[in-house]
Structure 1
Amino acid sequence: MMSIEGRCRCGACRYKIATETLPRVYACHCHICQRWTGSAFSLQALVAESQLAVTGPIVVYALTTEDRTSVQRFCGTCHTRIYNTNTRRPGIAVVRAGTLDRSEDLQCVAHIFTAYRQRWVSIPTDVPSWPEAAPAADFVQAVMA
């Protein structure tokens, strides 16, 4: 089987996703993602954790809130955030889409937390979007279809 590859900024961490096609990605415009990225939104891909193989010096940071624990994985050298898992979505890895080697070929298929978007960001009218979190079934249909 072919794979899709990605890496951190410095190249110390590399990963492969066991799939032949680029994943569908979504943009999260919440304030937490804006702070994590230092940008207007975070572009992410949901992949089965079992399909993801990472090599290199990974540093782990776990953040527990009232209803979940998010475990972030960073490059131990340059601190690029590679992916995270979340106790609310067991078995799913949330890969930072900008770390994919072919990120320019990605298609953003959904936008969430658009109530917090930077006002200069225009969201295409033909792409599903939600002002807050998307209903689970609608989100899965948009992102995993």
Structure 2
Amino acid sequence: MIKGGCRCGACRYEIAIDELPRVYACHCHVCQRWTGGAFSLQALVAEDRLTVAGPVVVQEITTEDRTSVQRFCGTCHARIYNTNTRRPGVSVVRAGTLDRSEDLDCVAHIFTAYHQRWVAIPAGVPSWPEAPPPEDLVRALTA
């Protein structure tokens, strides 16, 4: 069982898997603005393996091609995960909320056309200048 939670500890979650998930960094401007940082570190997790307890606030964002449902801690407003209509059954967990985030393996980078120039994208790690084909990202995360 993998565990994590928000900044203040009011929301805690468990992922019913045995090992830390492999993660990817998204360098798009939306993620930079969401996090206030250079990128967002994310893990794809089957929605039915994720259990969250605590005061969760939900925000729905609809664009021309999908609806994204964001989940935040209702106390500290840390973003914990989201789902979207383009990936049914998949939760996108904010990997920095994992209890053992220092042990994560970042195996892919997306939207690198927008990365901060001081961030070095490691050679040999799969990366895409924009959104990758979904099957390519899944392949990188499961290789």
TM-score by length of 1: 0.97
1:71 corresponds to: 69
1:4 corresponds to: 2
Q: Partners in 1 of 2:118 and 2:43 — Cα distance? A: 23
How many residue pairs match? The answer is 143
1:106 corresponds to: 104
1:23 corresponds to: 21
Q: Partners in 1 of 2:66 and 2:135 — Cα distance? A: 19
Q: CA deviation at 1:144?
A: 3.0
Q: CA deviation at 1:138?
A: 1.2
Q: Partners in 1 of 2:62 and 2:142 — Cα distance? A: 26
Which one of 106, 116, 119 corresponds to residue 117 of structure 2? Answer: 119
* Alignment deviations for residues 67-121 of structure 1 (CA, whole Å, 9 cap, x no partner): 0000000000000000000100000000000000000000000000000000000
Consecutive aligned runs of 4 or more in structure 1 exceeding 4 Å deviation: none
Unaligned runs of 5+ in 2: none
Q: Percent identity?
A: 78
Q: CA deviation at 1:136?
A: 1.9
Unaligned runs of 5+ in 1: none
TM-score by length of 2: 0.99
* Alignment deviations for residues 24-65 of structure 1 (CA, whole Å, 9 cap, x no partner): 000000000001101000000000000000000000000000
